[in-house]
């Protein structure tokens, strides 16, 4: 336990006190713990994690082939070099995170098997009271903290999203969601249908294609894919020249970020040209006779949804080899033996995998209250996608959609450390963001502009999310390249910050 932790008795439960409480030991929470120890040594803090180990997303997802679709030079932390191929398996990411924990002695700050159920702010005490349940004993435990750092991700880890289709109960085979992949699932020689066309489906299909009898990717509409080698030529060259790994990490990060910024700008400025390039890349793998129009030509602009990366074209190799196929159609109903499609065709299946996405979970399914009043985050306005009007001493990490999540997790960490330092200097016990007089008539809009980015889990959960305004400070801009320059210069005495 950190030296500064104190004990106090509250309503029957003993509460342990920390300066900062971090929710979640995924890539964001572990990063937050690292930055706190380096940037604010001496700060007492605890990380509470409901699962039995660290990793978050990379621990939860155990389906065959699970891997990143971002490169690890930018999905990795800025402070710890990535030394392998850019696209990594979940196991490799977990090993990398494990090293960060080990090398920086972060393990002593993390409490696993602690599911947080409530967080209550008291203005009289200027602190949060957090209640959690221990998985090992079932015991309720209580913590108090001056500051809450929400690193709980954006979806419910216990179960994925599966739509209701007619006749599901009549299907005699097994229905599986990739998020809760059963360890005992035997798919060798079986007919498998994977419903979905996103990164998960694109990862799973090639991973099982060789072993299954046949795997069919069933999609309602096509997705953009980017196929390329799982290698970075610059990194490989620098490594051959025996350049220090710290340098390689920084140089390759900068190069990848530069390339991505050019690509993103082009996707907005010349979407038709970019779409043509992406389709050309897929065509090169599938050959001239493949029906690209039906199966691989989306109707939306590139970047309106995340573009799935296909390392070494593995998805397309399976299709060419005849182990995998794509069907673009709609589900009419499930039958005893598979799926009946709206076109009238039937798909036979022994196993149906619903790679249909996530259940958005706003702030970790934790009940929040401010001075006894239940908090509905949909009533708040977000400050740069990380703080919320009327919610004191709390920062939320929500990463980028079009760039690696961790880039933003690192930036938020810098912001938190700067804010905590500033509060100390001002001897403030409380900080909250508030709309300024000039923001009074600002239109309040949904969290994300659906014209800009519209994945299903966000569309389904938009009503639960905070509002955004029409000025950069009241938006989650999704723009790393601006935020990396603007955030370090944020004036913490600007009138958006109200101290107490």
Ligand X SMILES: Cc1cc2nc3c(=O)[nH]c(=O)nc-3n(C[C@H](O)[C@H](O)[C@H](O)COP(=O)(O)OP(=O)(O)OC[C@H]3O[C@@H](n4cnc5c(N)ncnc54)[C@H](O)[C@@H]3O)c2cc1C
- Name the site residues for ligand X (rule: CB under 6 A): 23-29, 48-51, 56-57, 61, 68-70, 75, 115-116, 151-153, 157, 200, 364-366, 397, 399, 404-405
**Judged by CB, which is closer to ligand X: 15, or 286?**
15
Q: How far apart are CA 480 and CA 261, in angstroms?
A: 9
Q: How far apart are CA 13 and CA 412, in angstroms?
A: 32
**252, 234 Cβ separation under 8 angstroms:** yes
Output the smallest distance, CB 147 to ligand X, in A.
17
**Judged by CB, which is closer to ligand X: 117, or 297?**
117
List the beta bridge partners of residue 334. 339
**Judged by CB, which is closer to ligand X: 257, or 366?**
366
H or E stretch covering 311: strand 308-311
Q: How far apart are CA 295 and CA 315, in angstroms?
A: 13
**Judged by CB, which is closer to ligand X: 116, or 267?**
116
Provide the strand spans (E) within 167-307.
174-176, 191-195, 214-219, 225-228
**Judged by CB, which is closer to ligand X: 68, or 496?**
68
**Judged by CB, which is closer to ligand X: 314, or 439?**
314
**Judged by CB, which is closer to ligand X: 100, or 286?**
100
Q: How far apart are CA 223 and CA 234, in angstroms?
A: 29
End-to-end CA distance of the chain: 29
**Judged by CB, which is closer to ligand X: 116, or 433?**
116
Rounded to 10 degrees, what is the CA torsion of 313, 314, 316, 321?
130
Provide the strand spans (E) within 49-165.
110-111, 114-122, 127-134, 140-150
**Judged by CB, which is closer to ligand X: 26, or 196?**
26
**417, 147 Cβ separation under 8 angstroms:** no
What is 48-69 written as a DSSP string? E-SSSSS-THHHH--STT-B-S
Output the smallest distance, CB 221 to ligand X, in A.
20
367 alpha carbon, distance to own chain's centre: 21
Output the smallest distance, CB 117 to ligand X, in A.
7
**323, 214 Cβ separation under 8 angstroms:** yes
Sequence-ordered alpha helix ranges (H) in 61-171: 72-75, 90-103
Q: For residue 82, what are the CA distances in angstroms to 248, 420, 437, 461?
A: 9, 29, 46, 34
Output the smallest distance, CB 3 to ligand X, in A.
24
**249, 226 Cβ separation under 8 angstroms:** no
Residues 6+ apart with CB under 8 A from 495: 436
Q: How far apart are CA 49 and CA 58, in angstroms?
A: 14
Output the smallest distance, CB 310 to ligand X, in A.
13
Residues 6+ apart with CB under 8 A from 60: 51, 157, 179
Output the smallest distance, CB 177 to ligand X, in A.
12
Output the smallest distance, CB 181 to ligand X, in A.
11
**Judged by CB, which is closer to ligand X: 70, or 129?**
70
**Judged by CB, which is closer to ligand X: 74, or 328?**
74
Output the smallest distance, CB 69 to ligand X, in A.
4
Output the smallest distance, CB 50 to ligand X, in A.
4
**354, 175 Cβ separation under 8 angstroms:** yes
**350, 243 Cβ separation under 8 angstroms:** no
Output the smallest distance, CB 24 to ligand X, in A.
2
Output the smallest distance, CB 486 to ligand X, in A.
21
**Judged by CB, which is closer to ligand X: 54, or 187?**
54
Backbone φ and ψ for 191, nearest 5 degrees, come out as -90, 120
- 191-195 and 351-354 beta bridge pairing: parallel
Query: Nearest-CA neighbor of 356 among 94, 161, 217, 126?
Result: 161
**Judged by CB, which is closer to ligand X: 116, or 193?**
116
Output the smallest distance, CB 402 to ligand X, in A.
9
Output the smallest distance, CB 41 to ligand X, in A.
23
Query: Nearest-CA neighbor of 282 among 200, 363, 225?
Result: 225
């Amino acid at each position: 336990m950190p030296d500064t932790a104190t004990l106090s008795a509250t309503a029957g439960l003993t509460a342990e006190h920390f300066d900062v409480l971090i929710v979640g030991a995924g890539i964001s929470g572990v990063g937050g713990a690292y930055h706190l120890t380096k940037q604010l040594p001496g700060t007492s803090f605890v990380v509470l994690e409901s699962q039995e180990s660290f990793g978050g997303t990379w621990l939860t997802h155990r389906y065959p082939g699970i891997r990143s679709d971002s490169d690890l030079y930018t999905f990795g932390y800025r402070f710890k070099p990535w030394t392998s191929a850019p696209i990594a398996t979940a196991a490799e990411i977990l090993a990398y995170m494990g090293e960060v924990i080990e090398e920086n002695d972060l393990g002593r700050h993390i409490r696993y098997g602690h599911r947080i159920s409530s967080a209550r702010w008291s203005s009289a005490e200027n602190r949060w009271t957090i209640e959690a349940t221990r998985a090992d004993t079932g015991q309720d435990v209580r913590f108090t903290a001056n500051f809450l750092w929400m690193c709980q991700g954006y979806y419910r880890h216990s179960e994925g999203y599966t739509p209701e289709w007619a006749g599901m109960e009549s299907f005699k085979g097994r229905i599986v969601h990739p998020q809760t992949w059963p360890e005992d699932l035997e798919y060798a020689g079986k007919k498998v249908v994977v419903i979905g066309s996103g990164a998960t489906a694109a990862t799973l299909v090639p991973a099982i294609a060789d072993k299954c009898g046949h795997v069919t990717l069933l999609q309602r509409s096509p997705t953009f894919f980017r196929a390329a080698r799982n290698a970075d030529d610059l990194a490989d060259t620098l490594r051959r020249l025996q350049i220090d790994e710290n340098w390689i990490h920084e140089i390759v990060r900068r190069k990848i970020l530069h390339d991505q910024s050019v690509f993103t700008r082009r996707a907005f400025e010349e979407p038709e040209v970019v779409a043509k390039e992406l389709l050309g890349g897929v065509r090169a793998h599938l050959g001239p006779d493949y029906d690209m129009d039906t199966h691989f030509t989306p109707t939306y602009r590139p970047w309106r949804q995340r573009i799935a990366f296909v390392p070494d074209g593995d998805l397309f190799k399976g299709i060419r080899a005849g182990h995998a196929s794509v069907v673009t159609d709609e589900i009419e109903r499930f039958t005893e033996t598979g799926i009946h499609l709206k076109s009238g065709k039937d798909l036979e299946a022994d196993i149906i995998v619903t790679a249909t996405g996530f259940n958005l979970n706003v702030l970790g399914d934790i009940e929040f209250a401010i001075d006894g009043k239940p908090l509905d985050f949909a009533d708040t306005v977000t400050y740069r996608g990380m703080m919320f009007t009327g919610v004191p001493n709390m920062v939320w990490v929500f990463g980028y959609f079009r760039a690696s999540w961790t880039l933003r997790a690192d930036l938020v960490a810098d912001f938190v450390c700067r804010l905590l330092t500033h509060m100390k200097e001002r001897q403030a016990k409380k900080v909250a963001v508030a709309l300024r007089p000039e923001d009074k008539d600002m239109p309040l809009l949904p969290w994300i502009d659906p014209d800009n980015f519209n994945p299903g889990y966000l569309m389904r959960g938009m009503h639960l999310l905070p509002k955004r305004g029409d000025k950069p400070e009241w938006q989650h801009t999704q723009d790393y390249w601006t935020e990396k320059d603007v955030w370090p210069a944020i004036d913490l005495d600007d009138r958006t910050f109200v101290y107490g």
